[in-house]
Amino acid sequence: MQWTDLQNECLKEFHEQGGSGQVIRDALTKVPLDAHMIQICQLLFDSGWKLVILSDANSVYIEGILQHYGIRHLFSNVITNPAHWDEQDRLYIQRLTPANAPHGCAMGVCSLNICKGQQVDTLLRHVGKDMSTRMIYVGDGRNDYCPAIRMKDDKDILFVRRGRSLEAYLTRDDPAIQEVLKARIVYWKRAGDILEELFSAPEIVRLLLEDD
Ligand SMILES: [Zn+2]
């Protein structure tokens, strides 16, 4: 079964067996979020960066977690599978890209329900991408490869999480996979690694502060 549909099916069964929506909402307040990750988001926001979450999870989970940590305002967009509660307190999750209107991406790494690369294209069109537009992308899954190839040069940074499927994909014995990546690649294990890297590239955290 397709992943989003499967989650929706599990939620249906959970509800039918008497599972309460409150259990889910409570669980969202217990999802750990590395304090360094919060610091990174705040730092980039304060430096004038536009922060976007692009995820194959769903809107209820992401909004719930962000609100719990009080950091929802740092993000201009949350692009993910739409979810909602009905009047019986059952949670529904739908595919961002519905089955009857496939995204048609041929990269081979994207899920049926979301092509993160196309979402980045749309986003860049909206922000009016020009030569000065820079991108920092933090990813862990194989489906983060499709947006990563949209990054144009080594002023952009692709943060690749160690031990996850994106790293496994990038380190395959296939030079063509690496060849199309123009961004500078930085591997990370903990959020602290990303923070350290951002501080070692002061133009990222100072660039827009100086403009103000
Ligand atoms: Zn794609």
> Residue 5, annotated ligand binder?
no
Instruction: State in Å: Cα 120 to ligand 1 middle.
Output: 10
Q: Does 209 score more than 90 pLDDT?
A: no
Cβ atoms of 200 and 46 within 8 Å: the answer is no
Instruction: State in Å: Cα 25 to ligand 1 middle.
Output: 31
Model confidence over 81-113: pLDDT tens digits? 999 999 999 999 999 999 999 999 999 999 999
Q: Does 199 score more than 90 pLDDT?
A: no
Q: Tell me what the pLDDT averaged over the chain comes to.
A: 93
Instruction: State in Å: Cα 97 to ligand 1 middle.
Output: 12
Cβ atoms of 74 and 45 within 8 Å: the answer is yes
Residue 127: pLDDT band with limits 50, 70, 90: confident
Name residue 5's amino acid: D
Query: What are the structural domains of the chain?
Result: 3-211 (3.40.50)
Q: Does 153 score more than 60 pLDDT?
A: yes
Instruction: State in Å: Cα 13 to ligand 1 middle.
Output: 31
Cβ atoms of 136 and 28 within 8 Å: the answer is no
Instruction: State in Å: Cα 155 to ligand 1 middle.
Output: 22
Instruction: State in Å: Cα 107 to ligand 1 middle.
Output: 5
Quote the CA–CA distance of 90 and 21 in Å, as a whole number. 6
Token duo for residue 49:
């960066």
Mean pLDDT, residues 160-168: 98
